[in-house]
Amino acid sequence: MAEKLEETQASIAEIETLYRERYPRFLRVAVATLGDVERARDAVHEAFVRAIKSRGDFRGDGSLESWVWRTLVNVCLADLRHQPLPLPALEATAQAGQNDDWPELRAAIGELPERQRLTLFLRHYADLDYDSIGVALGVARGTVAASLHAARSQLRKVLGEVTT
């Protein structure tokens, strides 16, 4: 019976471990997506609250981390629907103290289709592999690859235009 207790508590403990080890990455992606640090902190908070509440729904189809990433993506998208991000995207992050050496790049990212933009963020800021991104966005691995390729191509084009 002692094992029952361990099983009962393990999921929250795992979510806690994920939170403590990956918080900066979750926050970074949320900031990139929402363009506002405070909204991003709220989104990460809300995502983990939801993860705890709905932990019984986790089926183990992918990793727990991917599942939480998906929750965060959903929270961010819901937030954006409620309060759309003004273009160019990421404007607020520049205001938050980052160097804004690439205003054209910011604008280009902001103009990417939503899936491409999220794929880019999850690959670059969260360092997720294609499979995990697929789980997080609810798309196939091939779609992840195609979205990332399209995003990179578009951004390279913009950077090329800027730097030549």
Partner 1 sequence: MTDYLSAAVDGLVPEFAEEQGDWPAVVRDAGVRQLAAAGKNHRSEVSGGGTHRRTRRRRVVVPAIVAAAIALPLVAVAASQSWWFFRFEGSPTPITDVKVVKSGTWSGQDWRLVAYLSSTDGICFGITPAGSEAEGRGAGMSCAAIEGVPRTSESKPYTPLAITFGSGSSERFPTYIVGPVIVVATEVVIHLADGTVVRTPTFDAPDELGRIRFYATPLPDVPRTMERPPLTQIRKIVGFDRGGEVVACLTVPMPEGGVTVEACR
Q: Specify burial of residue 139 (Cβ count, 10 A radius: 0-12, 13-18, 19+).
A: middle
Please report whether residue 120 would count as binding partner 1 according to CB under 8 A: yes
Distance between CA atoms of residues 116 and 113, nearest Å: 5
> Residue 129 phi/psi, 5° resolution?
-80, 175
Q: How far is the CB of 3 from partner 1 (least distance, A)?
A: 9
CB of 94 closer than 8 Å to CB of 161: no
Distance between CA atoms of residues 82 and 108, nearest Å: 23
Please count the residues of this chain forming the interface with partner 1, following the rule CB under 8 A: 57
Please report whether residue 144 would count as binding partner 1 according to CB under 8 A: no
Q: How far is the CB of 10 from partner 1 (least distance, A)?
A: 5
Q: Would you list the DSSP string of 60-125? A: SSS-HHHHHHHHHHHHHHHHHHHSPPPSSTTHHHHHTT---S-HHHHHHHHHS-HHHHHHHHHHHT
Please report whether residue 109 would count as binding partner 1 according to CB under 8 A: yes
Please report whether residue 141 would count as binding partner 1 according to CB under 8 A: no
Interface pick for partner 1 out of 62, 63, 102, 143 (rule CB under 8 A):
102
Q: Which stretch binds partner 1 (CB under 8 A): 68-76, 127-135, 136-144, 154-162?
A: 154-162
Q: Specify burial of residue 147 (Cβ count, 10 A radius: 0-12, 13-18, 19+).
A: buried
Interface pick for partner 1 out of 95, 129, 156, 161 (rule CB under 8 A):
156
Please report whether residue 99 would count as binding partner 1 according to CB under 8 A: yes
Interface pick for partner 1 out of 68, 73, 85, 90 (rule CB under 8 A):
90
Contacts with partner 1, residue ranges (CB under 8 A): 1-2, 4-13, 16, 19-20, 23-24, 27-28, 31-32, 38-39, 41-42, 44-46, 48-49, 52-53, 55-56, 58-60, 64, 90, 93, 96-99, 101-102, 105-106, 109, 120, 123-125, 152, 155-156, 159
